[in-house]
Structure 1
Amino acid sequence: MRCQSLVAALSLGSAALALHDQFPINTSGETGARPLDVINSNPGHPYSVSSNSEQWRFDEYPPENATGNLIFDTVHSLLQHWPNTRYRNGHNIVPGVIPIGTLLYHGTNGSHMIPSGPEWTAMDPEHSIFFSRGNGSGWHLTLAATRPLKVLYFDGNSAAKLSEGTMDTQDIIAWGEPRPERSFDERDRIDHLCTWGKEFRIDGFVRMEMSLEVMLCNFTAGVEVVSFVHLTLPRDDRSFHLLTSLNHTTWIRTFEVLHSGSWHNRYPGDSRIVLDLTGLISLYDTALASSLISVRAGLERIDHRVFGISSQDSSRVMRRLTEIASRPDPAGSGTDWKTLIRVIVDRYADRLELTQYLLNATSSDPQELLGRAKLAQAQLRVMLTPYLLHSTAVPSAGTLGIYSSQWASPIFRLCVRTHTSQITNLIPLMMSSELLLLKAVEDTTREICRVTTKMWADGVMSGLDTLFPVERNGEPDVTQIMNGWRQDIQKLMSWLDWSVWIKCQPACGPEEMCYLSTWPINAPRPDSLPPSPQNPQNLTNAREAQNFANRVGQPKYPTMPTEDWGKPQPRCIRRLQPYGF
């Protein structure tokens, strides 16, 4: 009876998926989405991948325009300061809530009146106090949420006033399209966002500057005043909200904003904001924003942005967002996607990094290289231990066909399917965002398992694995094996591109902090930035941008080379005077 119920449910899910393929936006709850993007079916199960070994070829690489790895990594990076500093141009819009009792902070330099309209609040007081500047004092407002505050989160460095892509996703909501020439038009931006969000009872919009902030639409709805105090503060002569002087007190306050942001560098990020991944909108979703495929073509990830999206895709994004914002309550399968993705990162990140380290040996001593190869083989086997089927038949050397590792395809298949095989039974309950996440997880685990299983199987056939002995004629060519492995692991880790591997080496001392170039501290002069690859016209000639350039470009202002801004590299900076950004 139970099996019949399951089959019936799965059949219903298949019908729902097929229906949704004809009508991508389902106003009754948007369950299901684009089955051909998600499902690789075979008779007997509408989702399961065929056990046919041809489905599990080790020479089948991810498609050139695949984005599953990018969706996986950006979702894993949500609300984390470090990866969103590294890749400033966000591609995700995610609904969420700020729980009851959470504190928000707002700093001013002159008025002790509670804002009567939309204004900016900080998640940490170090950030808001940065704006409580004045002639030796400033006003500082602390608010507490009296109910869950409904918010939308824009990932990336989405509060950085830059024309190079940081604000593209929010501009679609505010103005219908990315408007990079209006990067400094913050008052109009917050007014338009809050006007749009009022219909859906959205209380604010979460962005990341040097630390996380909330664009709060109403200071009298859903929040109450904890305190509004007149603080004694060091004198600060800044005439503009960006750092423009090197006086002692300005440096301390500036560093402490960065310091508070660093508290949320890594997973889980800022846990005071609870995101609902069943409502995730990703502009890396090629079915939602197909026009961006050609926009990204040939570009490095740091240059990916939403500018260049077609009007049709922008409209599709807004329809999807309107549907998600209109939902009375979150729905979906109940899968904890955030934890699932983290489990996969935890499982492989350190071991892949260690394997890469072992393979980077440069010794010319054959015995030392052989020892390194065996250590690397052991790490590969450790990663695959839960999938090493006792029934696996290892062929003898010399009997292999053209695909020398294909005997290991059952291990490959089990490795891929373990994390999601039961979740697929929940497809009839899934929102379209969840199906996108499911595909991203399977795309990512498939490539990890493909590469690591192939490397391990090659090591077995080379006689490097003591648990799976294979008789060989002669010694293996360890140098050739190591070179092939080194390329395999480098390609895999570059494709995954996890920010957990980006760190200061050696580790920083107690008086230091690991740091990536951050807006506005290290941002180059806007008039020195190259034009957008999709728009040959330099969009940084607006009056606001020139004002920025005049102020930030003072000779005494510390700047980093343009190449560091384009590809931020971790480095240790001092936590004490004198600072060195």
Structure 2
Amino acid sequence: MKSRSIILAPFFLPLLLIVTSAVPNQSPLFLQTSDGPSIENARANAPEIFNAIHSSMRQWGSSLKHNGMSFFPATVPKGTLFYHGTHTPEPAKGLEWLAFEIEHAEFFARSKTGHGPGGHGPGEGPGGPGRGPPPHARMDSHPTSKHGQEIHGTSKDKNEGSHSYLHVYQTSKPLAKLLYIDGMSAAKTSMGTLDSTDYIIRNISHASTEPKKDRIRAADLCEIGEQWGIEGFLRMESGFEIILCKFEDGLKFLSASQRDELPRSGKGDLRTFEYARAVGHRYQGIMGGRVEVDYSSMISAFFYPINLTNPDASRSKLPRLPAPSESDHLRRIRSDLLELFVSGEYAKGETINWQNVVDMIVTRYSDRLKFMVQNDTSEATVLSEIKFLLDLHTNYAQIDIPSSIEKCANHFLEPVVPRTEADHLIHAAILEVSRNICRTLFQVRELLNDRREVLKKGEEKQLIQALINQLDWTTWLECGKCAFDEVCYVATWPWGRSEDHTSPGCIKWDDIGDRRGYWDPGH
């Protein structure tokens, strides 16, 4: 995933030689090696790193860019509420799942003898035809993990589970040693959603992507986590969830409510719509201060010299990791990730909220860039918009375009001082993205101002559109405000058609139905 260079007019070529920083006195805290992270790799993959930070812990961007390549330590504060659907009123023990949303957990509040309240969940869900039982449901058999140990949390009581229950838990202490795996890392597909989990953390090349095998994956993660000092793994599918390795440690059991066992169906049943609505409420973030991400400890494949080209040309915008047997670099990433948590010594230090920095840049430019390439936006209007964006960085008493570009590129980076290795890599990536934005806008401004240049029709819009294509921001696929009987619908595993991924839109509550077709069935 290499960023493409913008073609510059001759008077912009000297700018390519400028390498400045908002923090010139700071130097990277790491020694660059042939297989390790580097500033060069961060610059080469700058748009991807920028977008990974922008989409982190956000359902929208993580659904569109579902093949996550990055890891972040994360903390859940004391007092946070979670939900868990199961077949017993007794508090869960050992390894289990926590849902951030009520509707997500309700889907898994099923009895062992049936499909729980109302039969199937939205679109028949993960437990639908050909997909095995719900991935969070306990199994009647006793599967073993990669390391051959029987997986805890399975039940031998054949009389247990004739009803379904929704549990409510509250954290009794901060869950301070969680690992957030970005993208849609809980999606059981062979499209790349599980690459970072299976290839890097589990270090295996051929893992089943069947939903019913996810408990084996979770058991492997928790065995590895016990060695590394990780207490749980934060992932996303149709909703965010935590695989918590020891339910007895850090959770307070508040209640267990038996669910209505009577089937509900018909045109008035809103469960599918309400689940989709709940997912939509988290498009722009988990909200409620429920998760704190340590961006200053980010580990990303985009930092390393790895070929992340997707072998499926139809999905070229979605990166893929090579299998462990094909790349020594994955072992280096795994080692660097282990070092964050090794011996249980990880403690979150002072961290920079890089997502705040990225948000400032996106909100500054996203709508304005799109406005400038609309068919009915005139050259004069484009010039006026660019003047509005660039005047802050222009001293008309003594115009110095190279200096103005650097002022523009560094503007939102001025308040931050990188301290960690990840900080320096992220800073380099964001600066590269910002510089490309500013350089392009100054180039277009000069072209429109210089009437001696004969512009090809729409040349200024072509330059801006090339920038938009390179940035690839997920904001440009947002629906806008839908009607109250609609939901903005994007493909989230296991539901969604192909068009729901490429062109999300507002869907009426009674038209959601069984939307399938985008996600592969796993194997």
TM-score normalized with structure 1 length: 0.69
Q: Which residue of 2 aligns with 1:239?
A: none
3-state secondary structure, aligned to 1:89: coil
Question: Which letter does structure 2 place at the counterpart of 1:384?
Answer: L
Pick from 266, 271, 291: which aligns with 1:273? 291
Q: Which residue of 1 aligns with 2:187?
A: 160
Pick from 194, 210, 227: which aligns with 2:222? 194
Q: Which residue of 1 aligns with 2:464?
A: 489
Structure 2 segments unaligned to the other structure (5+ residues): 1-22, 118-162, 516-523
Call closer, same or farther: CA 1:392–1:298 in 2, change over 3 Å.
farther
Q: Which residue of 2 aligns with 1:382?
A: 388
Q: CA deviation at 1:270?
A: 7.2
Partners of 2:479 and 2:247 in 1: how far apart? 40
3-state secondary structure, aligned to 1:448: helix
Call closer, same or farther: CA 1:251–1:330 in 2, change over 3 Å.
same
Question: Which letter does structure 2 place at the counterpart of 1:304?
Answer: P
Q: Which residue of 1 aligns with 2:476?
A: 501
Q: CA deviation at 1:127?
A: 0.7
Contact 1:144–1:225 (8 Å) recurs in 2: yes
Pick from 93, 96, 100: which aligns with 1:123? 100
Query: Which is helix-richer, 1 or 2?
Result: 1
Q: Which residue of 1 aligns with 2:124?
A: none
Contact 2:189–2:209 (8 Å) recurs in 1: no
Q: CA deviation at 1:261?
A: 1.2
Show the 5 A alignment for 1:90-489. Answer: 90-108=68-86, 110-134=87-111, 138-149=164-175, 150-184=177-211, 185-235=213-263, 247-248=265-266, 252-267=270-285, 271-285=289-303, 288=304, 290-293=305-308, 300-308=315-323, 310-326=326-342, 327-331=345-349, 334-357=351-374, 360-361=375-376, 372-393=378-399, 408-420=401-413, 423=416, 426-427=417-418, 430-462=419-451, 480=455, 482-489=457-464
Pick from 492, 495, 499: which aligns with 1:564? 499
3-state secondary structure, aligned to 1:292: coil
Contact 2:54–2:359 (8 Å) recurs in 1: yes
Q: CA deviation at 1:248?
A: 3.6
- Larger RCO (alpha carbons 8 Å, 6+ apart): 2
Q: How many residues align?
A: 439
Contact 1:573–1:579 (8 Å) recurs in 2: no
- 1:407-449 CA deviation, whole Å, 9 max, x = no partner? 63232222123333564xx45xx21111111011111101101
Partners of 1:324 and 1:145 in 2: how far apart? 23
- 1:152-196 CA deviation, whole Å, 9 max, x = no partner? 111111111111111111113553035354443211111010111
Residues 1:86 and 2:64 are matched in the alignment: yes
Q: CA deviation at 1:390?
A: 2.5
Residues 1:21 and 2:32 are matched in the alignment: yes
- 1:343-385 CA deviation, whole Å, 9 max, x = no partner? 111111121122122xx12xxxxxxx8xx21111010011112
3-state secondary structure, aligned to 1:158: coil
Question: Which letter does structure 1 place at the counterpart of 2:51?
Answer: D
Contact 2:409–2:438 (8 Å) recurs in 1: yes
Q: CA deviation at 1:207?
A: 1.0
Q: CA deviation at 1:311?
A: 4.1
Partners of 1:128 and 1:417 in 2: how far apart? 44
- 1:310-361 CA deviation, whole Å, 9 max, x = no partner? 44112111111111123542236x433121111111111121122122xx12
Question: Which letter does structure 1 place at the counterpart of 2:474?
Answer: S
Contact 1:104–1:124 (8 Å) recurs in 2: yes
Call closer, same or farther: CA 1:296–1:431 in 2, change over 3 Å.
farther
Q: CA deviation at 1:85?
A: 1.3
Contact 2:272–2:512 (8 Å) recurs in 1: no
Contact 1:85–1:156 (8 Å) recurs in 2: yes
3-state secondary structure, aligned to 1:259: helix
Contact 1:173–1:193 (8 Å) recurs in 2: no
Partners of 2:24 and 2:450 in 1: how far apart? 41
Question: Which letter does structure 1 place at the counterpart of 2:402?
Answer: S
Question: Which letter does structure 1 place at the counterpart of 2:91?
Answer: I
Q: CA deviation at 1:283?
A: 1.5
Call closer, same or farther: CA 1:88–1:183 in 2, change over 3 Å.
farther
Call closer, same or farther: CA 1:578–1:127 in 2, change over 3 Å.
closer
Partners of 1:446 and 1:161 in 2: how far apart? 38
3-state secondary structure, aligned to 2:413: coil
Q: CA deviation at 1:96?
A: 0.3
Q: Which residue of 2 aligns with 1:529?
A: none
Partners of 1:291 and 1:258 in 2: how far apart? 36
3-state secondary structure, aligned to 1:188: helix
Q: Which residue of 1 aligns with 2:150?
A: none
Q: CA deviation at 1:211?
A: 0.8
3-state secondary structure, aligned to 1:418: helix
Show the 5 A alignment for 1:519-534. Answer: 519-522=493-496
Residues 1:514 and 2:488 are matched in the alignment: yes
Question: Which letter does structure 1 place at the counterpart of 2:494?
Answer: P
Alignment RMSD (CA, Å): 3.0
Call closer, same or farther: CA 1:90–1:10 in 2, change over 3 Å.
closer
Partners of 2:54 and 2:24 in 1: how far apart? 29
Q: Percent identity?
A: 26
Partners of 2:268 and 2:262 in 1: how far apart? 8
Larger radius of gyration: 1
Question: Which letter does structure 2 place at the counterpart of 1:86?
Answer: L
Call closer, same or farther: CA 1:35–1:517 in 2, change over 3 Å.
closer
Partners of 1:379 and 1:10 in 2: how far apart? 31
Contact 2:62–2:183 (8 Å) recurs in 1: yes
Q: CA deviation at 1:268?
A: 6.7
Contact 1:167–1:180 (8 Å) recurs in 2: no
**Which range moves more in the overlay, 323-332 or 276-285?**
323-332
Contact 2:479–2:506 (8 Å) recurs in 1: yes
3-state secondary structure, aligned to 2:492: coil
